[in-house]
């Protein structure tokens, strides 16, 4: 890899791209196209993403932290719309799809003094088609500067349409989960995955005071097919903007689930939360042959 700011490094068993740029530092794993560090200058080069200090860099094992990519189904397959469930007939389908624990290829790296843009790609192959029988090309485009933008582009390279759900499963840090509030979701409908998937309506700002696992569905204001959330936490204000999406998952495992999670310490729930830019349930996507669909996330301080 012959670039100015980017170099290939090894993290445990995994290949990664380390970026050392005046405006930011970042670490991007090829396995799962999982960004684990984005440290912008305007955050004193501190990681804007949460990464477990119990993390294990092992081949074929999902990592706890950063931005895992969930595709072509989010969560448990049997909780997805029927048209997604029916596309695969494997038993014990892995949670969060089939691309977060396998290597992606470096497609392109574009460097400038203002930004670095990296495209990682994965395409259907015989072993993936044994799990999910469709032809596709998936691109994860990372645009790094003082802000971070991540775009996931699905291209149907086959003959038949397919349906999918997806998420950019972003782990975010906080100095205190009990003083962390998510704004701009008031009056938004959500499904409470911890209360028999009951439909509810958000009253006021989102606060964290118990295990939280909710799928939010935003109004399509002016047909823009996007939403913006503002997160207030001690010493930080964060803006998370999502495009081509009207759903997001908000998660914190709290006390009990923290004890059952891999690569997670019992107290970690106090210093992290997830806001997952998604296309889930009624907001899932369908793509016809030769067609493309994308979802994009932008993180700004
Ligand atoms: O996005 C929330 C969620 O679906 C939770 O239910 C929780 O299981 C989390 O994802 C983490 O999943 P993982 O498979 O990475 O342990």
- Residue 295 has, within 13 A of its CA and on its CB side, a CA count of 27
The answer to whether 243 touches 282, Cβ cutoff 8 Å, is no
Ligand 1 pocket, mutate which of 101, 251, 273, 277 (most atoms under 8 A from CB): 251
How many Cβ atoms from other residues are within 10 Å of residue 289's Cβ? 13
CA angle 262, 96, 136 (to 5 degrees): 140
Beta carbon of 96 within 6 Å of any ligand 1 atom: yes
pLDDT at res. 82: 96
* pLDDT band of 224, cuts 50, 70, 90: confident
Closest by CA to 298, choosing from 262, 244, 260, 233, is: 244
Tracing tokens 């204001």 back to the chain, one arrives at 221
Question: Ligand 1: does its nearest atom lie under 6 Å from the Cβ of 95?
Answer: yes
Predicted confidence at residue 78, as pLDDT, reads 96
What percentage of residues in the chain have a pLDDT greater than 90? 95
Q: What is the mean pLDDT of residues 51-63?
A: 97
Query: Does residue 2 carry a pLDDT above 80?
Result: no
**Per-residue pLDDT, 120:** 98
How confident is the model over 202-218, as a mean pLDDT? 98
Tokens of 152: 């996931």
Hey, whose CA ends up nearest to atom 13 of ligand 1?
95
Asked whether the predicted pLDDT for residue 254 surpasses 80, the reply is yes
pLDDT at residue 1, rounded to an integer: 67
Contact indicator for 144, 288 with CB cutoff of 8 Å: no
Does this model's pTM top 0.85?
yes
**pLDDT tens track for 126-155:** 999 999 999 999 999 999 999 999 999 999
In 20-143, alpha helices (H): 82-85, 126-131
Residue 32's pLDDT band, with cuts at 50, 70 and 90, is: very high
Substitution candidate for ligand 1 out of 52, 96, 254 with most atoms within 8 A of CB: 96
What value does the CA radius of gyration of the chain take, rounded to a whole number of Å? 18
| Angle at the Cα of 215 from the Cα atoms of 204 and 193, rounded to 5 degrees | 105
pLDDT at 15: 98
Question: Per-residue confidence at 221, pLDDT binned at 50, 70, 90?
Answer: confident
Report whether pLDDT(242) > 80. yes
User: Which pair of structure tokens corresponds to residue 214?
Assistant: 């909710």
DSSP label at residue 267 = T
List the structure tokens of 132. 């999910």
Is pLDDT above 90 for 273?
A: yes
- Distance, CA 219 to ligand 1 centroid (Å)? 25
Residue 236 backbone zone (phi > 0: left; psi -120 to 50: alpha; other: beta): beta
Q: What is the mean pLDDT of residues 198-219?
A: 98
pLDDT attached to residue 106:
98
pLDDT tens for 74-98 read 999 999 999 999 999 888 899 999 9
Q: What is the pLDDT of residue 90?
A: 84
């Amino acid at each position: 890899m012959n670039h100015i700011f980017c170099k290939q490094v090894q993290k445990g068993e995994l290949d990664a791209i380390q970026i050392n740029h005046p405006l930011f530092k970042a670490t991007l794993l090829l396995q799962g196209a999982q960004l684990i560090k984005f440290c912008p200058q305007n955050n004193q080069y501190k990681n804007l993403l949460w990464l477990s200090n119990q993390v294990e860099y092992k081949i074929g094992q999902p990592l706890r932290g950063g931005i895992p990519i969930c595709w072509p189904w989010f969560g448990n397959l049997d909780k997805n719309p029927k048209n997604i469930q029916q596309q695969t007939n494997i038993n014990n389908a892995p949670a969060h799809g089939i691309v977060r624990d396998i290597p992606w290829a470096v497609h392109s790296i574009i460097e400038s003094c203002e930004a670095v843009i990296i495209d990682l790609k994965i395409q259907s192959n015989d072993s993936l088609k044994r799990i999910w029988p469709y032809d596709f090309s998936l691109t994860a485009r990372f645009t790094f500067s003082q802000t971070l933008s991540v775009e996931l582009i699905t291209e149907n390279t086959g003959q038949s349409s397919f349906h999918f759900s997806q998420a950019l499963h972003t782990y975010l840090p906080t100095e205190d989960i009990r003083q962390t509030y998510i704004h701009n979701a008031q009056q938004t409908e959500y499904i409470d995955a911890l209360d028999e998937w009951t439909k509810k309506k958000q009253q006021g700002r989102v606060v964290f005071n118990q295990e939280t696992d909710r799928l939010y569905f935003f109004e399509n204001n002016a047909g823009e097919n996007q939403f913006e959330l503002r997160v207030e936490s001690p010493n930080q204000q964060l803006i998370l903007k999502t495009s081509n999406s009207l759903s997001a998952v908000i998660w914190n495992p709290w006390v009990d689930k923290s004890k059952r999670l891999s690569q997670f310490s019992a107290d970690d729930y106090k210093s992290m939360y997830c806001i997952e830019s998604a296309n889930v349930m009624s907001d899932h996507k369908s793509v016809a042959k030769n067609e493309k669909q994308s979802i994009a996330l932008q993180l700004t301080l």
